[in-house]
Amino acid sequence: MQVGPALGESSQMALIPCSQTPLGPNIVPETCSNKFVLVEDMEVYLIRVCCQLKLDYPVFNRQEFFFDSGELLHGYWVTLQSQQRDINWIVEGRFSPDEGNARQDASFKMLGKVLSLVGKEIHNYNYRIVVGLRVRVEELEQQLSKPAYQRIRGLEQENQKLKSDLKKFNELFET
């Protein structure tokens, strides 16, 4: 599939001046890819979402930064425009020694922006995990909204029921 510039290529490149040194949270954290069974390509997700929403293809612009030590860091900013929908968005990703990680980071950030602005989500394995966590958070928030004495009373009642169940269980096996 050809998309604007070919996937994996950049349409433009910029060198970053020393005054804008990418440090701290602006560096993509390294991940150990051998811990994962499947790694989704955020750029492909972004392109699929753009197609689904009838948006123009994203354009990736590469940045490079050279440390004094000679280490090269890559970064991308992504632009997404659509004449039909009056969209002109720009998102800057973080820097990484690995160009692919930098591009994935920028894709992920633009994907997040697109999804949040249109009020949509991607339904996949992790979505199901997140839904389960949201339910658990709601349960915990409900528990915390109760006064402490009500929570303690509920735990004491639960403890009594468990003791009663254990007693019945023990009686069942003693005879």
Q: Are the CB atoms for 94 and 26 separated by under 8 Å?
A: yes
Is residue 2 included in any domain, yes or no?
A: no
Supply angle C-alpha 90, 95, 101, rounded to 5. 95
In this prediction, residue 163 carries a pLDDT of 95
Residue 136 shares a structural domain with residue 108: no
Which segments of 25-137 are extended strands (E)? 59-66, 72-82, 87-92
Residues 6+ away with beta carbon under 8 Å from 22: 16, 65, 73, 75, 94, 95
Q: Which two tokens stand for residue 83?
A: 């004449």
pLDDT(24) > 80: no
Residue 47 shares a structural domain with residue 83: yes
Q: Residue 134's domain spans which residues?
A: 127-174
Is residue 50 included in any domain, yes or no?
A: yes
Residue 135 shares a structural domain with residue 111: no
pLDDT(162) > 60: yes
In this prediction, residue 76 carries a pLDDT of 97
pTM of the shown model? 0.63
- Weakest-pLDDT range from 19-23, 110-114, 137-141: 19-23
Query: Considering its fold, how many domains does the chain have in total?
Result: 2
